[in-house]
Amino acid sequence: MTTPSTSKTDVQALSASRGWLIIGGILSIVVGFIAMGSPYVFSILIAQWLGIAALVIGVISLALAIFGKHTGHRLAEGLSGVIRITAGIIMLRCIGSSVAIITLILAGYLAAEGIVAILGAIKLRGNAGWVWTLVNGLASLVLGFMVFSRWPNNSVAILGLLFGFHAIFNGVSNLMLGLSARKRPSD
């Protein structure tokens, strides 16, 4: 059933994404519990993964600058690659500081995503699972402000725990939205 705030295309898109929402929701819940069970380990893994990603992307950028056929942006690409490589090395060598900075960035991300999810929930009001999206948005917003208020104290534990809480709330939201979406006739 659609209401004035929910168009038929929104309902059809939700139905078409039903399976992905359910699978993504379950995986997000599992990852969330793993992160909450080992917040210190998970925090360090996040920092290491981002450091490695920065290194790899930096090497690719540098290789494009040196070996690429397009010469118009070679200097900018090379400089960008060097900056990424440097950032990756720093992140990997200074894990404690990296975790603190990533925790601060996570706080901003959670607050911003909370606002976007709340606005999205308002748009989805006609769907049965819209309340879960609203709860997810409110939880993300509150978690973001909690991190801001406690930063940088306990950044290592906070990063893993809050990432886990967020993953669980996001997973439940997607799972409930997927379960409430109608099956397509072809399913």
Per-residue pLDDT of 52-106, as tens digits, reads: 999 999 999 999 999 887 777 888 889 999 999 999 999 999 998 999 998 899 8
Give Cα separations from 131 to 19, 25, 113, 115, 174 (angstroms): 19, 15, 16, 14, 11
The number of residues in the chain equals 187
| pLDDT tops 60 at residue 3 | no
What are the helix (H) ranges across the chain?
8-16, 18-37, 39-67, 74-93, 95-123, 130-150, 155-180
In angstroms, the CA 179 to CA 173 distance is 10
Give Cα separations from 167 to 12, 22, 53, 75, 160 (angstroms): 26, 14, 21, 39, 10
Q: Is pTM, for the whole model, over 0.75?
A: no
Task: For Cα atoms 158, 39, 132, give the angle at the middle one, nearest 5 degrees.
Answer: 70
State the amino acid at position 176 in one-letter form. M
